[in-house]
Structure 1
Amino acid sequence: MKLNKTFLAVATALPLLSTAAFADTVSAADLKERVFGSVFGEYYMPDIDKTESAAWNYMEKDWGYGIELGYYLTENWALRAEFAKLDLKSKLDGSDSDGDRIGIDAMYHLPSMSSVYLVGGLKRMDAVQTTTAVNLGVGYKHFFNQNFGVFAEANRYQGIDESYGDAGIKLGLTYAFGSAAAKPAPAPAPAPAPVPVQAAPADSDGDGVVDTMDRCADTPANHKVDATGCTIYEEKMAAVGDIDIEVRFPFDSAVVPQSQRSDVQSLGAFMQRFPESTVLIEGHASNTGNPAYNMRLSERRANAVADMLKNEFNIAASRITAVGFGVTRPRVEGNTAEAHAANQRIEAKVTAKVKEPVLR
């Protein structure tokens, strides 16, 4: 007598169906105190000892079918009676080894997974020989509505008066008669006591602050206001635009001439006034001569402006970034004198803290 591997695999897999399948539309409470009937097909697997014994006519694995009639006693327990017809054949010569099985079962539906149940019962087996067996198994059922469902079940049949261990796997349809008991409707909540209607205080500008508390009349409708009705502002760093610094250098020089210092001085004064502002100094060159040399020259000229801001206006180095772009970012395309004059420039991109209204 050996334990069937197919039976073990199915019995292990059935509990996993409760997490893989769709949720039932019927709860365990809906099935309580209802009669059910089922029809099923079964793949029956006799003990290996039976398949090798003349006393059992070398009984082979084969199919069967049957019916069940049962009753759900509680949300967890049910009883059923079963009749099965086993259409078995001899492995030796193909002769019939048909038989019948009749018995009763108790079913226990797991509280945490009501679709999964354990089953155990007593069976009378009449196939070649007439014997008595107990069965233990596990099953899974899924209801599509209040009445119809499908189920799968694996059982082990252990002989009592004869030593054998058969196995069977069922697939079937089940029908629960009647319908679930109607749940009592919840008592309606008591009606709230009427609240006296009071005139709303005046709010002329519609900002949510009554006129008696509003210190800022006619605030814009999309502005968020404080408890006194005044616009709430926030400060944040934002780009205030590009500033052209008209600094022209002598040929092959990175020293800012005295005559070209006014724009740099204006920038320095602005950054002193706004101590949280930062600046990106960009050096650009015209497209004449060697590009690599022009790149280094534009870097030196950007650093010259940055040094002037640090040394003469005491602007912290952490607030200044100097970059040379050489001829890579021309303002005017072309190889004319006008294009060269426009492209040989210093630009400053300033970021400063600005004050903006908070919008609703």
Structure 2
Amino acid sequence: MKLNKTFLAVAAAFPLLSSAVMADTVSSADLKERVFGSLFGEYYMPDLDKTESAEWNYMEKDWGYGVELGYYLTEQWALRLEFAKLDLQSKLDGSDADGNRIGLDAMYHISQLPSVYLVGGLKRFDAVQDTTAFNVGIGYKHFFNQNFALFAEANRYQGIDETYADAGVKVGLTYVFGSASAAPAPKPAPAPAPVAPVQPVAPADTDADGVVDSADKCANTPANHKVDATGCTIYEEKMASVGDIDIEVRFPFDSATIPADKISDVEGLGAFMQRFPESTVLIEGHASNIGNPDYNMRLSERRANSVADMLKKDFNIDPSRITAIGYGVTRPRVEGNTRAAHRANQRIEAKVTAKIKEPVLR
């Protein structure tokens, strides 16, 4: 007696198949106490002793088909009746070696892999000879909905009154009759006994800022101020312009050197920026409308940079806080072509921005 190698390969593939195919849409509990029927095709593989024996008419491997009728006893156990037609031939002369198989099986569905089941049962054959065998096998069933499923199953048939070990692989369609029983609706929880409402006593808030007196560290805050958890005004800091500062740096004609009598104006700007370390300044250089405009533009830039350089070197102001730009003759303070207009326009202006602190209003 020789064990069929094809049966072993197919049986070993079922656990892998259960993890490769998408999960079923039906649980084991949905199948309990339901009747099912199946149609299947089967590739039947007689023992090698049969294929080489005249007593078995040199029975060859071939196809068969059949039907099943079963019942799910529990979530894991089921019983089924099977009838199969084995359409076999003799490999010697092609004569019929077919017959029928009928039997009863028990099925056990594995809890951890509900789509995989084990099967065992007793069968009666009348192919060439009348014999009895018991079978063991493994199967995989995949449900597409509450009723329909495809299945594949491999079995080994061990002869009882004759010594042989046949094998077969079935593929078929199962229909489960009826539908899953609906779970009973949970009983509603009893209504709680009514409780008389307790009227709360509001704690005192004298300044009406939303913080009770016991936690208020800043009494009498203005009514339009937002306050924190301690009742104190919330402030926000922001950068805002503090106005244009005309530092009155007047340059001689065609010069970018700060005159000695104007250095004090630049020093005042530097002292202010040291006092307010988060302040920034925009230094604007201007020129009179005499001569070439492009040259005057570059001259105004040199004038702005001369003030910026003094702030950096003498007052250690970080360069990131200083912006120097030349406007040439594009922004005159005094219009006209007089000597007074030219002197007024040969200048530096500074725009300072500093951080201010303001209360947040409601």
Number of the residue aligned with 1:338: 330
1:252-263 alignment runs, 5 A limit: 256=258
Contact 1:86–1:98 under 8 Å retained in 2: yes
Map residues 10-25 of structure 1 onto 2, 5 A cutoff.
11-16=14-19, 20-21=22-23, 24=25
SS at match of 2:14: helix
Checking the alignment, whether the CA contact within 8 Å between 2:228 and 2:234 is kept in structure 1 is yes
What is aligned with 1:112?
Answer: 112
Matched residue type, 1:80: R
The Cα offsets for residues 46-84 of structure 1, whole Å up to 9 and x where unpaired, read as 259499657344333x352412212323x3333333333
> Relative to structure 1, is the Cα distance of residues 345 and 217 closer, same or farther in structure 2, using a 3 angstrom cutoff?
closer
- Which of the numbers 229, 234, 239 marks the counterpart of 1:227? 229
The reply on whether 1:68 has 2:85 as its aligned counterpart is: no
Shift of 1:197: 4.0
What SS does the aligned partner of 1:144 have? Answer: coil
User: For residues 48 and 353 of structure 1, what CA distance do their matches in structure 2 show?
Assistant: 98
Partner of 2:172: 171
Q: 1:107 is aligned with what amino acid? A: M
1:2 and 2:5 correspond: yes
SS class of match (1:198): coil
Deviations 1:320-355 (A, max 9, x none): 3668899xxxx8xxxx9538999x999879674756
Partner of residue 80, structure 1: 80
Structure 2 vs 1, CA of residues 187 and 269 (structure 1 numbering), >3 Å: closer, same or farther? same
Matched residue of 1:188: which SS? coil
Mapped partners of 1:155, 1:231: distance in 2 = 81
State the TM-score, normalized to the length of structure 2. Answer: 0.63
Quote the sequence identity (%).
34
Work out whether residues 240 and 354 of structure 2, in 8 Å CA contact, stay in contact via their aligned partners in 1: yes
For this pair of structures, how many residues does the alignment match? 327
Look up the SS of the partner of 2:189 in the other structure: coil
Alpha-carbon spacing, 1:233–1:35, altered in 2? closer, same or farther (3 Å): same
Map of 1:154 onto structure 2? 153
The whole-number CA distance in structure 1 between the counterparts of 2:183 and 2:358 is 65
Normalising by structure 1, we get a TM-score of 0.63
User: What secondary structure is seen at the aligned counterpart in 2 of 1:338?
Assistant: coil
Judging changes above 3 Å, is the alpha-carbon distance between structure 1 residues 353 and 219 closer, same or farther for their aligned structure 2 residues? closer
Cα shift at 1:231: 4.4
Rg larger in structure? 2
Q: Residues of 2 paired with 1:48 and 1:325: CA distance? A: 101
Q: Which amino acid aligns with 1:29?
A: A
1: CA distance between counterparts of 2:274 and 2:110? 77
- Equivalent positions of 1:1-360 (< 5 A) are 1-3=4-6, 7=10, 11-16=14-19, 20-21=22-23, 24=25, 26-32=26-32, 34-46=33-45, 49=48, 55-60=57-62, 62=63, 64-73=65-74, 75-87=75-87, 98-114=98-114, 116-124=115-123, 125-131=125-131, 132-142=133-143, 144-145=145-146, 148-160=147-159, 161-177=162-178, 179-180=180-181, 182-183=183-184, 185-191=186-192, 193-198=194-199, 201=202, 208-209=210-211, 215=219, 216=221, 218-219=223-224, 223=226, 225-233=227-235, 240=240, 256=258, 268-275=270-277, 277=278, 279=280, 288=294, 304-315=306-317, 317=318, 320=320, 338=330, 352=355, 357=360
> 1 CA distance for matches of 2:284 and 2:8?
81
Question: Structure 1 residues 230 and 2 mapped into 2: Cα distance closer, same or farther (>3 Å)?
Answer: same
Unmatched segments (≥5 aa) in structure 2: 288-292, 334-344
Per the alignment, do residues 197 and 6 of structure 1 end up closer, same or farther by CA in structure 2, a change over 3 Å counting?
Answer: same
Distance, in Å, in 2 between the alignment partners of 1:310 and 1:265 is 11
Alpha-carbon RMSD across the aligned residues, in angstroms, is 5.2
How far apart are the structure 1 equivalents of 2:285 and 2:257? Answer: 15
